[in-house]
Every structure is written in structure tokens, then in C-alpha cells.
Amino acid sequence: MKPARLCAGTGALCWIYIFLWSLLLIVPGIIKALAYAMVPFILEDEPTLSAEETLRRSSTMMAGHKWDLFVLYLSFIGWWFLSILTLGIGFFFLTPYVRTTVSSFYEDLKG
């Protein structure tokens, strides 16, 4: 079981880096957010990694696959609009579906 401080520290560092990249322009922030999208999954698989190593592995894993993940997220845009139309109730069903799909994407990258 991983220590909670390690998860919180890695998540905070990840969001700090994304925020700093977003200060340049929005596009570099989006690119870094896609590069760091696999951090929670890597941390779950290997909880002993440091925060820096986890971010580095996520960037390495996503090299050449950021566009694939971006298109995957775009495929849910209609569902997001429908969830908004239901005053947010649809997000209770959509969020687990998106997370499961992204975790499947991670398993494909890992394997």
C-alpha cells in the first residue's frame, strides 16, 4: 500500500508542472497534461517510485501517443454535453466510463 503523502505529493507536483506549462500558452499546458495523464496508473502499479520518476515515466510512455489520448477524450465530447444537459447527473455514469476507457488505454500502452 502506498503512502498517502506520496500520492498527494506526486499529484501536486504534476499539477504544478501543468500550471507552469500553461502559463506559456494553453497548448503547452494541454500537451503536458496529456503527457502526465498516466501518472495515477503508474503510481498504482509501482508505488515506490519517486514523484519525479513517476512523471518521467509517464512522459516517456506517452511519447508518440498524446494525440491518441486527445482523440480518445474528444470521442466523449457528446457524452459530456449530454451530461451537462442532465444538470450533471449524467456525470455519475460518464466519469467511471471515461476512467475505465483511459485505464484500458494505459494497459494497452503498458503491454
Q: Looking at residue 62, what is its pLDDT?
A: 94
Apex 79 CA angle, 73 and 80, nearest 5: 75
pLDDT band at 59 (very low <50, low <70, confident <90, very high): very high
| Pairwise CA distance, residues 65 & 31, whole Å | 11
- Give the model's pLDDT for residue 1: 44
Supply φ then ψ for residue 35, to 5 degrees. Answer: -65, -35
| pLDDT higher than threshold 90 for residue 7 | no
What is the average per-residue pLDDT within 83-109?
94
Tally of domains within the chain: 1
The residue range of the domain holding 26 is 4-110
pLDDT reported for residue 84: 94
pLDDT at 45: 87
